[in-house]
A and B are shown apart, each in its own frame.
Chain A
Amino acid sequence: MTEVTKVETTLKDWETDQEVRWCPGCGDYAILKAVQRTLPQIGADPANTVFVSGIGCSSRFPYYMETYGFHTIHGRAPAFATGVKLANPDLDVWLVTGDGDGLSIGGNHLMHVLRRNVNMQIMLFNNEIYGLTKGQYSPTSREGTKSPSTPIGSVDHPARPCAFALGSGARFVARGFDVSKKLPEVLIAAHEHKGAAFIEIFQNCIVYNKDVFDDFAAPKGAEDQQLWVEHGEPLLYAGGTRGLSLDRENCCLKIVEVVDGDWEAAGVAVHDVKNRALAHMLVELRFGEFPMALGVLYNDPHPTLEEGVAAERAAATKGKDASLAKLLGKGQTWTVEAEGGPHL
């Protein structure tokens, strides 16, 4: 894999001539802008960047990025992206999926791209609903969600994307939300991570599942329910008046009040991005009762699939030549002479 040189671009360089066709007010617009703002910051090269998506509202994303783009089929984007990366590991691949695409029809592929640790950024737009098919409940919809396919409320239990990612062996798990100013920071961290970087982005579907994330993502007054984690920093929120402490007895996190900023006295835990157990606790925090843990929850790099494949190839091909003639005539052969009769 060659070192990629940084390219100078502006936000405009990443916009296509195609009309953006999401519903007015959709959270996807904010995410698109955040990504278009992020790419110049990281010095990305449009010609070397590939956006791969599945099916759904979020998966229209590649059409609006002036890069290489592949809008594939429902749920399978991770498999296409894996093929792209194995064929050309130098490409900078961003995968765009949603809660239905990534966790329902494509759950299997998402699991495997994470465990294989293919080097790419995976953005899962979670709006807890099927938007493009007009509002059916999704695998992340909360119990009791009323939708055209669940008119008296859904009864099945929702999947938690970040818990799924950790359980699948992801080495980078982060969270953000559509209108958050901090989203580019999270995306930059994901891009810096070598391996499969999983980012759950809460996204407001204003038509079919409006404002379901208002508890922590409302434009005003919800900041107190956001816990932006940072490596080496205490798990504080609500302006530092509350924090999360390790409940050693029950092996989970508990909320503690912090008096006069003395978080140490309150026993607030310090975030460690390499602590997998802590990451598991952060992504399992019950919604509503606890703040929403946001930012880079887990980041512990590990060799990637491409590196493994390249190393194996180097070892297996050492000293071997690729002679087709030799390959075709391999094994036990015999020669028929012109006069007839075989000769061993």
Chain B
Amino acid sequence: MATKAAENPASISTESAPDAVVVRFAGDSGDGMQLTGGQFTLSTALAGNDLATFPDFPAEIRAPQGTLFGVSAFQINFGSREISTAGDEPDVLVAMNPAALKVNLDALKPGGLIIADTGEFTKRNLDKAKYDTNPLEDGSLARWDVLAFDISALTIEAVKPFGLGNKDALRSKNMWTLGLALWMFDRDRQPIVDWLKAKFKTKPEIADANIAALNAGHAYGETAELSGPLKKVHIDPVPAEPGLYRTITGAEAVSLGLVAGAQLAGLPMFFGGYPITPASSILHYLVRLKEFGITTFQAEDEIAAICAAIGASYAGQLGVTSSSGPGIALKGEAMGLAIMTELPLVIVNSQRGGPSTGLPTKTEQSDLYQAVYGRNGDAPLPVIAASSPGDVFECAIEACRIAVEYMTPVMLLTDGYIANAAEPWKVPDPDTFKPFTVKFLQQKNATDAEGNPRLLPYKRDAKGARPWIKPGTPGLMHRIGGIEKQVDTGNIDYSPDNHQAMTDARRDKIEGIARDIPLQGVTLGEEGGKLAVVGWGSTFGPIRRAVDNCRNRGLDVSHIHFRHIWPLPANSGELLRKYDKILVPEMNTGQFKTVLRDQLLVDARPYTKTSGQPFKIAELEAAIELALAE
């Protein structure tokens, strides 16, 4: 969301219509649909529209061609108003083969437009997609507008001058399609041309072929004698706060936020990671930023990744590790050690469908229990959840701040949707960020009975945090570890009173963070009323839009979205008790609902979904209406 949202507004809609379009590019996983979508996103952002995207791709790298499970899709919703989701139902479906049509047809809006490549609707491909007859010819698509032509042949024709073989020529099909889409939505081709030239710098003939395909697709829209469904649509730019903008994905934003956080702490960053979908992109991004004092370490496993990060924190850097659910499970014991030794650490969980390997490329919010409760012993740590790709940036900085100010590991939750989705982002000015520069202990911090200086590694400050002592500092040698520590001295101590005191101290320190975070506000609507729709994480967009739609129909409903999951902001209970009913939509079986009930003793009701897909606005509107009617 690029638009400036007023604090606690009553409505987010504007009058003009049609003000938004949803386009879904779908093809074989080898067809380059993610690339097409990504470039279309860029051109849309440059045209000044607000937008949200939803990349939806299979877990297989190259699934067998033409199969239903090999379909890769990219959906974008863009408009001249605030866009909060990737859209429930596409207005336009680009289907590069029969399988792509079959898999995505159900979602297409009645009366929507299908653009299909007839060159791929062969007997063989129809069989693979389990079509008995060709849907382009048998009348089964009568509910929609269909524009079918041989994109394959047109692409081959367009790139003929470059002497590529048919197989290579067909690789430019996605650019031909992108060209057509750029024409349809009145977009500038130049940024894409520049990008192609840069991407294929060493292979200019490939760049030229792709540019020719792009231009041919565009020219096809412009010059072909087309009657019927293919029309040029112009979406006006969205009014937005003045400033510099770019598009950003969640994976980019979390990386940038961590870089900013480390700079604000005045520390080098150590990032320990292990390849896992969908978290690997953070490692790929940070490895290129060595000049920012970042060391990345691809460890032998998830456990080593977090342990090395804790080792680096112990040695005085900002340790960071990142993974997805199964990897986070492996890191659990080490998190306990970071809690026990009270060392700063940021743990990013890009959640995916679970349990076990689950749905690696699909989105879910089902690791909330794991984040809040998932360790042995009484092992509290702060949990922060980001609500959108842009929001992750701020959340990552906040995670770094809490980690170093409270000497604690912090869990930052994102999900597969946030990690991969893109949105326009107003580039912030780093001079406006408030630094939280770390001060390491340089000399002994107490005196003994005789008045001699003494080191107390577990002496707490007003926040309950112990000092951070870098090995190498003269005179401050001490030992830490996972065995229960004695109050103040940090020596081994198993005694009953001491364990009670230390358990309490660890709990109080984390609970105290509630005093150091903003009070919970109302995201959309009033402070009190019939129904609060309470969300966290990437459900932000659909909840916001659904609540707004319902409010425009006169319903008494408000949206409250939590960033701080643990501890909850201090006023959370007071705020939620101002509503008659509380509905908690989540992409799990009701985990935040449980936390709210447990922590606040409020009657939070679940509305849940675990299909690996984000909520649709219409589903949420129906749930809101039902909740109000009950």
Contacts and interface: CB of A to CB of B under 8 A. Distances in A.
Interface stretch (B112-120, B304-312, B359-367, B621-629): B304-312
A73 B317 CA distance: 20
Interface stretch (B39-47, B97-105, B505-513): B39-47
A250 interface: no
B428 A336 contact: no
Interface string B456-478: 00000000000000111111111
B54 interface: no
A29 interface: no
A321 interface: yes
Contacts of A72: 307, 310, 337, 481-482
B471 A68 contact: yes
Nearest to A51: B479
Contacts of A342: 46-48, 237, 245
A69 B315 contact: no
Interface in A205-222: none
B471 A336 contact: no
A16 interface: yes
B35 interface: no
B240 A336 contact: yes
Interface in B270-321: 270, 272, 289-293, 295, 297, 299-301, 303-305, 307-317, 319
Given A63-B479, A83-B315, A91-B472, A333 B492 contact: no
Given A87-B268, A341-B48, A16 B430 contact: no
Interface residues of A, number: 63
A154 B291 CA distance: 54
Interface in A55-95: 55, 62-63, 65-74, 76, 78-84, 86-88, 90-91
B317 A87 contact: yes
A1 interface: no
B246 A332 contact: yes
Which of A67, A73, A83 has most chain B Cβ within 10 Å? A83
B259 interface: yes
B161 interface: no
A334 B427 CA distance: 10
Contacts of B307: 72-73, 76, 79-80, 83, 109
A321 B291 contact: yes
A180 interface: no
Q: Which of A72, A90, A317, A321 has the most CB of B within 10 A?
A: A72
A70 B314 contact: yes
Interface string B52-73: 0000000000000000000000
B357 to A, nearest CB: 20
A67 B241 CA distance: 56
A321 B263 CA distance: 14
Contacts of A24: none
B474 A333 contact: no
A312 to B, nearest CB: 8
Contacts of A309: 295
Contacts, number: 210
A76 B247 CA distance: 40
A340 interface: yes
Given A86-B312, A327-B289, A340-B239, A47 B334 contact: no
A335 B308 contact: no
A70 to B, nearest CB: 6
Contacts of A109: 300, 303-304, 307
A328 B430 contact: yes
B259 A18 contact: no
B473 A47 contact: yes
Contacts of B527: none
A338 interface: yes
B449 interface: no
Given A47-B472, A327-B259, A344-B46, A336 B245 contact: yes
Given A47-B475, A87-B316, A338-B242, 9 more contacts: A67-B477, A71-B481, A71-B483, A79-B311, A84-B315, A328-B427, A336-B243, A337-B242, A342-B237
13 contacts: A18-B479, A70-B314, A71-B479, A76-B334, A82-B311, A84-B311, A87-B270, A320-B291, A328-B430, A335-B244, A336-B48, A336-B243, A344-B46
- Of all A-B residue pairs in the complex, the 4 with the closest CB atoms, nearest first, are A83-B311, A71-B481, A342-B48, A83-B308
